[in-house]
Amino acid sequence: MNFYRHPPTAAAKALLAAAGLPTADLEAEHFSHFIGGGPVHAPEALIGLQPYGEAALLRSLVVSPAARSRGYGSALVTEIEAYGQQIGVRELYLLTNSAEAFFSNRGYRILDRADVPEAIRQTAEFSSLCPASAICMHKRIETR
């Protein structure tokens, strides 16, 4: 699998929008913390971080329908966790409407939103873009 940091903004937003994931709050600089998979000009898979010191919001894991069942999802989670460690992140938080089992199988645990750091709770994804029914999950990533 070919992975790369900072996928092209327009192509990344198109993939996210096609999957019904939020893009309204994403600016070009956010994509410096994203990892793409597949062709650079047309990513087939994507995942991103919004880092806030030792905590980060893991967001926007998406794999295009044509690229599913190739292991992209698991590989991207591994890649973004390693990247997070490289930049000093120790705690990952996410919201999901449909991937609780996927993330649970990768060591993420359900967490009450009130237990999430303020910087993460203030993000647009937490405060307005994701519904209150979305499941909040957390994982501590250890240093290597």
Mind listing the pLDDT tens digit for each residue in 14-66? 999 999 888 888 888 889 999 999 999 999 999 999 999 999 999 989 999 99
Q: Report d(CA 131, CA 15) in Å as an integer.
A: 21
The two structure tokens encoding residue 46: 């994507």
Closest by Cα among 40, 52, 133, 39 to 93: 52
Instruction: Tell me the domains of the chain and their CATH numbers.
Output: 3-140 (3.40.630.30)
Q: Are 47 and 82 in contact (CB under 8 A)?
A: no
Instruction: Specify the pTM.
Output: 0.92
Question: Is it the case that residue 144 has pLDDT exceeding 60?
Answer: no
98-138 tens-digit pLDDT: 899 999 999 999 999 999 999 999 988 887 777 778 899 99
64-97 tens-digit pLDDT: 999 999 999 999 999 999 999 999 999 999 999 8
Closest by Cα among 108, 129, 133 to 56: 108
In 16-100, DSSP assigns E strands to 34-37, 45-52, 55-63, 91-96
